Amino acid sequence: MKNMFNKMILAVLTAALVFVSFPVTSVFAQGQNPPKLTTAKMEEVWARQLNRYARIGKAFDGSDVRLALLQARINLAKANGKDVTAVQTALDNLNAALKNAKPIYESMNGIVNAHQGFDANGKVTDAEKAKATLKEMHAKFEEIKSALGGTRQALRDALLAFRAANKPAKGS
């Protein structure tokens, strides 16, 4: 029974690590003289932003279930005498951060639906409006990143530390 419990905890923690290891946003470096955005480059950036927007949406859609499952495993580990303080704190912080970040994500829906400067196929129709749309989307991604504030990485680190501290004995 203990062996099965350890394997179950390991499987859930591994699944949680997979979830928290996916980045929500990408980092863009920009020098003093940013390169001129061509129409093709704006279309490429818009496509990447739409893809990132969709990935974030999928992460939000499934987060309640994944985090509830992780909470159940934490409760089980606690009931079995494990010290789950760090993991519980990290999970609580992530839950709070997700609650703060979700309205920011939802506000992006208007930008995506309006897609000013782009047609329905993602082609630039007005370069200035397209640039403004790209900047607005980028700002929203940065807001989400700021709202999450490293809580995903903190949970990942706490799970790794918990796993290292609670390795099953050999032969179990």
Q: Count CB atoms within 10 A of the CB of residue 148.
A: 20
Q: What percent of the chain has pLDDT over 70?
A: 78
**Quick one: pLDDT at residue 18?**
45
pLDDT at 152 over 50: yes
**Quick one: pLDDT at residue 170?**
73
Task: Tell me the Cα Rg of the chain.
Answer: 20
**Quick one: pLDDT at residue 37?**
76
**Quick one: pLDDT at residue 32?**
57
- Tokens 């949406």 label which residue? 57
Q: At 2, is the pLDDT very low, low, confident or very high (cuts 50, 70, 90)? A: low
The predicted-structure confidence for 17-55, as pLDDT tens digits, reads as follows 444 445 554 445 555 555 677 889 999 999 999 999 999
**Quick one: pLDDT at residue 33?**
55
Q: How far apart are CA 97 and CA 150, in angstroms?
A: 9
**Quick one: pLDDT at residue 134?**
94
Q: How far apart are CA 158 and CA 151, in angstroms?
A: 10
Residues with Cβ within 8 Å of 25's Cβ and at least 6 positions away in sequence, in order, are: 52, 141, 142, 144, 145
Angle at 76 between CA 74 and CA 78, to 5 degrees: 70
The predicted-structure confidence for 66-105, as pLDDT tens digits, reads as follows 999 999 999 999 999 999 999 999 999 999 999 999 999 9
The predicted-structure confidence for 104-136, as pLDDT tens digits, reads as follows 999 999 999 988 999 989 999 999 999 999 999
**Quick one: pLDDT at residue 62?**
86
